[in-house]
Structure 1
Amino acid sequence: MLKENSISLGGWNRKIDKRVKGYTLIETIAVISISTIVMVIGFTLIISTYKNYVNIIEESTRIDEIDNALLSIDRLLTGNMITEIKPDIVKNEIEVNYLRDHEKTLVKTKLIRRQGERLVVETHNKGQPDNSLLVRNTILKNVKTFTIIQKEKLYYYKITLKTGDEIIQCI
């Protein structure tokens, strides 16, 4: 008897209704349909947000590369010990001559020009018999054109990228 009372206190000894409480098939299908719609909208939102994130990262990387290239060119054109800057409209390159180690006889030349799809800086020994190439550094990739433009006494360089972006700076 004690055992039966403890079971009935816990609710185990109730009478079972003939109508079992639960969900109908229509209610279950409605819940599944609404849940599916919410999940599809959620996944679509997550996917579009991720694609937008990837596009923003790619755009930021491209802008950083352009900024770094412009800073490198500016540093080359405004550095110490420059003896002469010669923009060449025909060859579309900029020649920068500078003294090496404060010695007036040793001159190096840096050429800024396009090589293939890259904008490069080449360092040459000027005055040596072979005018030898010492170093070639890539400044910017995916370059479509690099042109030197002269307007009166001013020179400009124009960089057109494969993406269609154009950069014009005064030398």
Structure 2
Amino acid sequence: MWKMREEWECQNECGWVYNPGMRESLGLTQEDLSLGICTQSQLSRIEKGGSIPSVEITFQLAQRLIIDLDEVFQMAENPKKEEVMSAFNEIRKAVQNRDYSQVEKILKGIRNNPLFLKIREGQFIICHEGIIAYYLYNQKDKSLQLLRRKLSR
């Protein structure tokens, strides 16, 4: 996992780095992800745990992977967070592919899991329930209600 040290570098711990599966789930190659951030070979070393990315590179990779930096640092605090991120990445990929039935299926599988009951994760779920209400069931009012609930948390 990325873990902040006093020197403001990010350290790979437990082999997580940022999980190449996150990159792959978005259909990105190493070259795509590293473009303008670092070299492809440096990204490869980061993925394998052989290189420690700087805070700047961590930030840029997180942005390109559509990950909030708070999530990155929360993962360092909670090893089970990778399971949460994996599910969220599957949901993001399904939304990108407009596969809203898949989004609904994933949400049903995680909805009552204690890992997903924290405020941040709950907001993510509520937001995507709103997306499902709108795109799968054409329930615009319910969708807006869910999105307002997300914003009020």
- TM-score of the superposed pair, with normalisation by structure 1: 0.19
Instruction: Specify the structure having the higher radius of gyration (Cα).
Output: 1
TM-score by length of 2: 0.21
- Give the structure with the larger strand fraction: 1
Larger relative contact order (CA 8 Å, sep ≥ 6)? 2
Greater fraction of residues in helix = 2
